[in-house]
A and B are shown apart, each in its own frame.
Chain A
Amino acid sequence: MLTVLTPGPLATIQDRGRPGWAAIGVPRSGAADRSAADLANRLVGNDPAAATVEVTAGGLRLRAERTVLVAVTGAPAPLDVDGRPAPPNAPVTLRAGSVLRLGLPPVGLRSYLAVRGGVDAVPVLGSRSTDTLSGLGPGRLAEGDRLPVGTLAADEPIVDVAPVRAPSSRPVLRVLPGPRRDWLVAAAWEALVAAEWTVTADSDRVGLRLAGPRLERARDGELPSEGLVPGALQVPPDGAPVLFLADHPVTGGYPVLAVVASADLGAAAQLRPGDRLRFRR
C-alpha cells in the first residue's frame, strides 16, 4: 500500500490502455510515454501489463505503508527518499514509513513510478488507465488516496540501472504519411518537415497543439469523421496542427496529414508548453 501525500499538478494511473473497444466509442488511453512506463515495470520485475503512476511535472509525494520496490523513469524528476537523493531509472527499496518525493524535472514532462506488483486499481474494460477524455478508469490521484499494490510481478528484477537518454526539449520526430495528405496543399507537407513548431499551453494527454506556419487546405468541405491513432497530426480549419497523444478521441473530423512514427511517440509525450520540435521524413 502506498499513500498519496501530494499528487502534484496531475498524477494518474496508467497501464497499456484498453484497445479493442473503439466501435463503441471507447478510446485506447494508457501511458503517454509507453517506453518509459515499460522500463519502469521492467526495473521492478513487473508484468508489462502492470499499472504505473504517470506523474506530470513532478510534485508527487507518497508514503510506503510496507516495504516495497519502486522505480521512476521518464522525465528526470529529482528523486529523494526521506530527504536523501535516490537514483532514477533504477530499482529503489522503500521501507515501511518512508516518503518518496519527485521534484520538478528540468526537462521532459511525464515520469513513471512503478511498484513491484503494480498499482492495483479496479480495472474498467480490462484496463486500470485513467482516460482523461472519456472519464473511464480511476480518478486522478488526490491527497490521501491509498494505492493498493497488486500481484503482477514476474521474475526478480535483474537490472540495477538502465542507461537511458533524458527526454529532449528540442526533439526531431519522424513522420510518416497520413491518409489525407491530398486534403492539404502540397506545400503543407513540405512546411511540416521544414518548420520549427512550438508546443502551446493548450496541450494535455489528449494532444499537443502546435504553433508554426499555417498549413493550408487544398479543398473545402467536410471530411466525414474517421478513426484516429496516437501520433496522428490532424489539421483543423485554422491550419494549426494537433498531434494526438494517448487520450485522443476515437474519431476526428479533420484531415490527418501525417503520423508520428510509433518509436517517437514517447518523445512527443515528454514535450511541454514552450518546447520546440521538428519533424523529419
Chain B
Amino acid sequence: MVRRRRGFRRSRRCAVADHGGMERDASAEVRRAVLPYGDRGLLVEVADLAAVAGIRAALERAPLPGQLDLVPAARTLLVVLDRAPAESDLARLKRLEPAAPTTDADVRTVELAVVFDGPDLSEVAALTRRSVPALVEALTTAELTVAFGGFAPGFGYLAGLPDDLHTPRRTTPRTRVPAGAVGLAGPFAGVYPRSSPGGWQLVGRTDAVLFDAEREPPALLTPGTRVRFREVR
C-alpha cells in the first residue's frame, strides 16, 4: 500500500471543499464530500458502509501518489498521505468510481464458535423483546460482514445485524472485558481481541484468536470478511 512519489511540490496546497458541504457526484449518483484534514490527509465522507468499502477498494487497487494508509469507518474513509494534498487529489477523490470490494470468489467466510453465556445476554434479550434462545437464534442466523476496524488491533465492527437487534451501549462501561468476549453496540457486533475496558453489551465468548502479529493476515477479521456465529456449549 505504500507508494511514494519523489519530488512532489509541497507548495501546491489544496483548497478543499467547505467543511460539511456535500458534493453531488453525478457519475456515481452518491453523496460524497471531501473534507480537509491537515496537511497529510483528506477525509472522504459518503452515505454508508457500502460506499466506504467501494471507495476503499478503488484506492487499494489504484492508490493516490504517496498514499500511506486508508482508515475506513462507518461513513468516512481517511486517506493518509506522505505529502500535502493537492487539488488533483481532491478532484480524483470526488470523481473516483467505487470498485466492487471483492469478487464472490475471494470473500472469506469465518465461522466463530461462540458460547452464549455473556453477562448481558438476558438484558439484551429483554431489550430486544425476545427469549434468550430466540436471541441466540437471531445472532447465529445473522449474516455479518466486517465493516472496518479501529478500536484495537484485530477488532472488527461487524455489520448486518437485523434492525431490531440494535442495542445501546452500556451506560457504565466495564473496566475489564476479557479477550474473546462477543458484544453488541448500536448496529454492530464485535469480538474483543484482548482484555480491555469496554462498553459493549456482552452476549457470549469465543476461543478464536482474533489477532496475531506473526500470522498472515494478522487479523482474523479484515474488512469485507463474512462472519457467522455458531453456538457451542
Contact = CB atoms under 8 A, between A and B. Distances in A.
B36 to A, nearest CB: 5
A177 B16 CA distance: 10
Given A179-B19, A224-B74, A226-B78, A251 B37 contact: no
A124 interface: yes
A177 B37 CA distance: 7
Contacts of B155: 25
Interface footprint category on A: 35 or more
Interface string A109-144: 000000000000000110000000011100000000
A19 B19 CA distance: 26
Interface in B206-232: 211, 213, 217-219, 221-223
A24 B218 contact: yes
Given A20-B68, A23-B72, A179 B36 contact: yes
Given A178-B37, A229-B37, A25 B151 contact: yes
A240 interface: no
Interface string B171-211: 00000000000000000000001100000000000000001
A124 B218 CA distance: 10
Nearest to B18: A182
A215 interface: no
B221 to A, nearest CB: 8
A252 B156 CA distance: 15
A26 interface: yes
B153 A24 contact: yes
A181 interface: yes
B149 A256 contact: no
B71 interface: yes
23 contacts: A22-B72, A22-B149, A23-B70, A24-B156, A28-B69, A124-B213, A136-B153, A176-B39, A177-B16, A179-B37, A180-B20, A180-B35, A181-B20, A226-B43, A229-B37, A229-B38, A229-B40, A232-B37, A249-B151, A259-B37, A259-B38, A259-B41, A262-B38
